[in-house]
Structure 1
């Protein structure tokens, strides 16, 4: 059951003649996890951990025994590590979750396969080429499976590709521009997942996944704003990066307050605290400026906690 159910039960208990025993029974039945739910969690958690350890074990096996394995053996092991999980995922007796986890492990091992190929044949490709090819070759799996952990892997690869491209090819990119691009990429991903979750039938992304992507977007936007503020003296044009980021932050804050989303308000509060602190530091770049910035962080964090806690109480009728 969701938190709405728990709050509904508590509100009903406050305004009714329910006895404490009846309230406890309702909470035990509809809210608190029983043995069956814990068993379901273990069935979900243990295979995921096992497959993850297996994929990591294969990866570290390469690293430790690399010099002792002939070239064809290296390619064979790397290719087999991708093929075997794909074949196992076709077994109908496995549950849908197990098959998705197997394909996620196979997608993770595509990267080592490209690394093996590039090292043996000395392709001369940059590191970003490896990650770009990795993204392209698992894109079909990502779209077809539509599995949250696989999306996390894909978005991590996309962000890594952009960072490596800025370091190895686009040498003219500033750090602020890089963070702005990461902010745009992750914001588009967040918007896509939220819209798909709301409007497409059969699509239900878990909350932890949407919160993780939102955290990545807000973190990139915050770093972008702080970097732009601190570099305004050397690069005044970077002020234009502030406008779209702050405008989107304001729009998200308005939507979060309207739909009573405390998580996004908390993220944006932390982002505003960091941005204002960078403005204070830029004003002086002195000991006094850093002192005032520290005081601001402590005071603003305390004030944000009070305001957010009051909103939580109002929204949840505590």
Structure 2
């Protein structure tokens, strides 16, 4: 079975050809008849659909298998001896690891087995914690799970396995800071006005470091699975969320924090510069522009409505929002076309 990296490369090449054809057609460089023939050669063929179906069914089967293991333990928890629980999970992990070891390098089924092992490693940690009542908090479970997921990701050498590490690691960070600040849960941490600014600042710093590390590894170690745009998009989206939260917290607090607001804008500007000049990604640019518009509108609204209630300010705010959105859309279109011309 072909490796997923080869399939991804072919899909990326076809996508680039389609974008170039659409761009040239929009500029009038190609007639409709001149687009039809090369466009048809970029359409998926039967082999591509079979490859996609294999990957989709493999991912679905792995997810259902992991869900079945979790439901099995939840339903039979009281009836199973603790050593039976550990033995079943250890046996499942061994079978998955052995199956992946027997498969060729880069095989989809082998990578799916390693993904299942990543999930079951977290289940094993949860079973240990529940069996022995270690008293460990949830953030410790997720942190250890993220650490245990790293060797499986290194063995798989595929980007989706690193996505799981990113998700689990950031959940651990959220839970850790909610405990550190004495919050009852993650949502209270993110939306409580007393800690929103501090939490957003710390989480923003952590995500920016992760994003810098991801981009560095994508440049230096793509063979280990650090490739593609999804991982960077996940971290950049988190950075936009935390930057937006930091900016809003600095505006909506009892006292305006200019330094925090400026820091949020600097992070957004850095994201826009990096994903425009170094690693072009229209999705991240759109998210950063959206976050910037939200902060700009919120700042102007604070000035307009502070100490007064003027209905005309709503009209002005609406027009400003439309203008900023239109300007951002025009800039994004120019950036997109410029990138196509470079390609």
TM-score when normalising by structure 1: 0.82
Match of 1:248 among 264, 267, 270: 267
Local SS of the residue matching 1:123:
coil
Match of 1:229 among 251, 263, 268: 251
The higher relative CO (CA closer than 8 Å, separation ≥ 6) is in 2
Matched, 1:188 2:209: yes
Local SS of the residue matching 2:78:
helix
Matched, 1:308 2:332: yes
For 1:160 and 1:45, how far apart are their aligned partners in 2?
Answer: 26
For 1:204 and 1:142, how far apart are their aligned partners in 2?
Answer: 10
For 1:251 and 1:95, how far apart are their aligned partners in 2?
Answer: 35
Native 8 Å contact 1:58 1:81 kept in 2: no
Equivalent residue runs for 1:248-287 within 5 Å: 248-258=267-277, 261-283=281-303, 284=305
Equivalent residue runs for 1:151-170 within 5 Å: 151-170=162-181
Match of 1:139 among 150, 162, 166: 150
Structure 1: runs of 5 or more not aligned = none
Corresponding residue of 1:34: 45
From the superposition, tell whether residues 91 and 198 of structure 1 become closer, same or farther in structure 2 (CA, over 3 Å): same
Native 8 Å contact 1:253 1:265 kept in 2: yes
For 2:137 and 2:226, how far apart are their aligned partners in 1?
Answer: 37
Corresponding residue of 2:75: 64
From the superposition, tell whether residues 84 and 249 of structure 1 become closer, same or farther in structure 2 (CA, over 3 Å): same
From the superposition, tell whether residues 119 and 6 of structure 1 become closer, same or farther in structure 2 (CA, over 3 Å): closer
Q: Following TM superposition, by how much is the alpha carbon of 1:266 offset from its aligned partner in structure 2, in angstroms?
A: 0.9
TM-score when normalising by structure 2: 0.77
Local SS of the residue matching 1:89:
helix
CA RMSD of aligned residues (A): 3.3
Structure 2: runs of 5 or more not aligned = 1-12, 184-188, 190-194
Corresponding residue of 2:112: 101
For 2:19 and 2:252, how far apart are their aligned partners in 1?
Answer: 45
Task: Provide, for residues 257-308 of structure 1, a one-character-per-residue CA deviation record: whole Å limited to 9, x for no partner.
Answer: 4465432321111111221233245444787599469725455334433443
Q: Which moved more, 1:267-276 or 1:82-91?
A: 82-91
From the superposition, tell whether residues 293 and 156 of structure 1 become closer, same or farther in structure 2 (CA, over 3 Å): farther
